Structure 1
Amino acid sequence: MHTVPDRVEVVATWAAARHLENPPLLVVDTVTAFLDAHGVGHGPMAWQRIGDGQSNVTYLIVRGSDCVVLRRGPRPPLPKSTHDMVREARIQKLLRGHGVPVPEIVAVCEDESLLGVPFYLMSHIEGTVITGTVPFHLSSLEQRRATSLAVVDTLVALHRIDVTRGELASLGSPDGYLRRQVDRFSGLWEVNASRRLPAVERIADWLGRNLPASQAASVVHGDYRLGNLMFAPQAPAGVLAVLDWEMATLGDPLADLGYLTATYSEAGAPSTPLELTPVTQAPGYLTRLQLAERYRSRTGLDLSPLPWYQTLALWKAAIFCEAIYTRWRRGERPDDTDFGPTLETGVPRLLEAASQYAGLVMSHRA
């Protein structure tokens, strides 16, 4: 029997997908009807997959003179309590009201029958995301430094928002955030792991026994890195939008700084799968230490426990990546030919880097 290749992402109708081994990510007539219902463009639509995310899927949708971005979760089955597009859209709506640079939310679809998962539309912003190459207008030593400063200063501004009042307070309780993170990700490892890596349990035990006292409460982005920032298409370096709010909640702001610095690519440092913007190894960009010092000078927070947060960041990243690796091995990520296979060794490298940060902390306390 002839079958349609199982890596097909986009189909014209659901009927055209009936022979697919895996469901499509985009159904043209369904999305077109949704665009009609929300007054987005006229006539046929064009699409292009964009972004470097390994979790959720993002498409640029062009229809007539209108451009929007569609964001959805990956193909089911989805891990519990992940890929909540409705919550992610709500968070961005709230933060936009507080002056955080985020895209405007155009429409949200909670009806899973349309694409198999919820999704939302947001405004398209013309800008630059820095990953493997440096755009010319940000390539001078001056603009490289300005780029690094913009990364830190945007994070500082996010962490200064008062989360004790208004609708933001409903996003979660910052009390006990660090303990919940350790407990939650320990549970995720047990559910999603396909092999035994003793370092996971050892690091979890160390994290649990050395919990620092949170100094402040803030919105925590959860995946704050250079590759999730969109910069203006001309100098000087300025952040137009912070992207990918799936992991956002209320908690300890140093969790974001720990993640940013632990995944920030620096010349001479061992690489991990989470260093997704390697250009910062080049001269002109701030180092991890300089990023942290800039943050400390703008917030006044004590950064002596930062290695604990860096350990947490890489340990969580290892567990998250192991879930991706498990799904890839099960054939649940048929489009993934690059990232998933690398995690066989990539996850142990993350755990090794996390252990090194933990060793730094333990040696200070010894």
Structure 2
Amino acid sequence: MSAEDDYETRIADEEALAAHLGSVLGEVDTYAVERHEGGHSNETLFVTWGDRDLVVRRPPPGETAESAHDVLREYTVLSALGDTDVRTPTVVHACEDESVIGSEFYVMEQLAGDVIRDEEPDRFGTPARRERLGEELVDALAEIHQVDYEAVGLGDFGHPEGYLERQVDRWWKQYEWAFEVTEEVRSIPAVAEVGEWLEENVPEAPTHTLVHGDYKLDNVMFGPGIPPELVGVFDWEMSTLGDPLADLGWMLHFWRDPDDPGPREGDSAPVFTEREGYPTRRELVDRYERQTGIEFENERFYRALTAFKMGGIGEMFFRRYLEGNSADPTYPLMEEQVPLRVQRAKEFIEAGDDGLV
């Protein structure tokens, strides 16, 4: 058995999963499981269960950093948001019994549409539709930040005071966890420099809201029709209560403007947003500020924090690759890409706050 086949087997015992789903959803005659190859964090399985198209979300096999890959956190927030304006899939079931498939997991209804990563769908390829796509992305983020989290039962979902301080500390610790293995291959001295600057320059949050934690273009789905309509927001594993501008800074990291320098090794933003019609980062920020009444100040911090977190995510991926706990072909690339991400954080710090957007 190849390493990849072994990894696929470790993701889910299909017979055990079928038995469990049958006990909670009722028996069916048609059952099939397909692993989704698009994500790089939690594992996603597409499940045909009779006439229902479902999705199973579970963490990757193997040891993970503390608090990473928390799928039941996703289930909690998706359940709470079901009756709000936030665009989420419908959750069906959660299982805390790790003996079923080797980890906790949850089940949700599958939505129809496109998750946009490297290229725009042909149906969106006009200036007016591109503009609307950007507006939908910002509007859906504004809806998240305008949720009355107390009213929907998420008042204890996090501790908003000190959110940014904990973010800096958490991601520094994620590096340290990864370095236990990855420093045998290479070290990244700049991580300490960036982490220290972030610790010393944490701004005061403008307000406290529900935050998604990983909000970007390829974590949402657009429906199959036109004009663009955002129908679902996914990947809530890092959601909590905190500073909404952390979400905005994160989203901007994955959006390129026409006058940006050419893509560099390790860049994660698709280049198609440079095309005619797509809003600029400045226009996205302006719309967000109008929708929420929240001003985007201290941009240098939020942009540097995003790049620092991106590096931390990549370093955890690299550890998992070195330990044989992933078949994802992007993970070995992190050996060279993480130092570039940390360098990007340094560049944001050195740029100052003028003109970063």
Post-superposition offset of 1:276: 5.0
Q: Structure 2 CA distance, aligned partners of 1:117 and 1:332? A: 14
Say yes or no: does 1:228 pair with 2:219. yes
Question: What percentage of aligned pairs have identical amino acids?
Answer: 31
Q: Structure 1 CA distance, aligned partners of 2:128 and 2:190? A: 41
Measured on the aligned residues, the alpha-carbon RMSD in Å equals: 2.0
Post-superposition offset of 1:129: 1.0
2:297 corresponds to which letter in structure 1? S
SS at match of 1:36: helix
Cα pair 2:138 2:288 within 8 Å, conserved: yes
Post-superposition offset of 1:21: 7.9
Alignment of 1:300-311 (within 5 A): 300-311=293-304
- After TM superposition, the runs of 4+ consecutive aligned structure 1 residues lying more than 4 A away are 20-23
Q: CA 1:231/1:135 → structure 2, altered by over 3 Å: closer, same or farther?
A: same
Post-superposition offset of 1:297: 2.3
Specify which of 285, 290, 305 is matched with residue 297 of structure 1: 290
SS at match of 1:235: coil
Alignment of 1:66-85 (within 5 A): 66-85=52-71
Q: CA 1:292/1:177 → structure 2, altered by over 3 Å: closer, same or farther?
A: same
Any idea what the Cα deviations from partners look like across 1:294-343, whole Å, max 9, x if unmatched?
Answer: 2122223232312210110110110111111122122222x122x11221
Q: Structure 2 CA distance, aligned partners of 1:311 and 1:361? A: 10
SS at match of 2:64: coil
Tell me what 2:153 maps to: 167
Q: Structure 2 CA distance, aligned partners of 1:361 and 1:21? A: 44
Where does structure 2 lack aligned partners over 5 or more consecutive residues?
Answer: none
Say yes or no: does 1:105 pair with 2:91. yes
Alignment of 1:1-366 (within 5 A): 4-8=1-5, 20=6, 24-39=10-25, 42-50=28-36, 52-165=38-151, 167-193=153-179, 194-195=182-183, 196-267=187-258, 268-269=260-261, 270-271=263-264, 273=266, 275=268, 277-333=270-326, 335-337=327-329, 339-361=330-352
2:164 corresponds to which letter in structure 1? L
Post-superposition offset of 1:162: 2.0
Q: Structure 1 CA distance, aligned partners of 2:354 and 2:250? A: 21
Q: Structure 1 CA distance, aligned partners of 2:268 and 2:106? A: 28
Task: Calculate the TM-score normalised by the size of structure 2.
Answer: 0.92
Q: Structure 2 CA distance, aligned partners of 1:36 and 1:331? A: 32
Q: How many pairs were matched up?
A: 348
Cα pair 1:227 1:276 within 8 Å, conserved: no
Cα pair 1:131 1:279 within 8 Å, conserved: no
Task: Calculate the TM-score normalised by the size of structure 1.
Answer: 0.89
Cα pair 2:210 2:242 within 8 Å, conserved: yes
Q: Structure 2 CA distance, aligned partners of 1:257 and 1:165? A: 23
The one of the two structures with greater contact order (alpha-carbon pairs below 8 A, sep at least 6) is: 2
Q: Structure 2 CA distance, aligned partners of 1:33 and 1:274? A: 43
Q: Structure 1 CA distance, aligned partners of 2:274 and 2:347? A: 20
